[in-house]
Amino acid sequence: MNDEAPKERGFTQEESDAAKYLMDAVNIHVQASRASGRTVPGYVAVRLSDGKSPTGVLYDNRRDAIRHNLHDANMFYVKVGKATMSFREALIVLQMNRMARKNGVVFANEEVVAPQLTELMRPFIGRTLRGLNGGR
């Protein structure tokens, strides 16, 4: 066991890039839904590895998103409604889902509920927020 305090740092470039892809995957569907008059939320499948949506499809429900992406166990599913996703939100959502997967969550079987995992996010929250605020 390592008793040293973890290095305080911002997020990595890889985390930043993946969060941007996640943000784009959600926001494109929000804008398309607004333009088409869609009023019901949908789900987009996102890869944990890079934050990209492999299909680019907005599924009508979580079950359909899972069914069409069962070949990849490292996929998570984001609900897309009327609100866009900010970079900060995308970064935290990505980190939370990566932590959940690392702790054994199989997204095809169960949905991650953020309040149950906030205690696991403690190592990320401080460094992420400091990184987002320019190190302050």
* Interval 95-131: pLDDT, tens: 988 988 888 888 887 665 554 455 556 666 666 777 7
Higher pLDDT, 41 or 115: 41
Report the chain's mean pLDDT, rounded to a whole number: 83
Spatial contact of 51 and 22, defined as CB atoms under 8 Å apart: yes
> If you average pLDDT over residues 78-84, what whole number do you get?
93
Judge residue 64's burial from the number of C-beta atoms within 10 Å of its C-beta, 0-12 exposed, 13-18 middle, 19 or more buried. middle
For the chain, domain boundaries: 13-132
Residue 130 pLDDT:
73
pLDDT at 22 over 90: yes
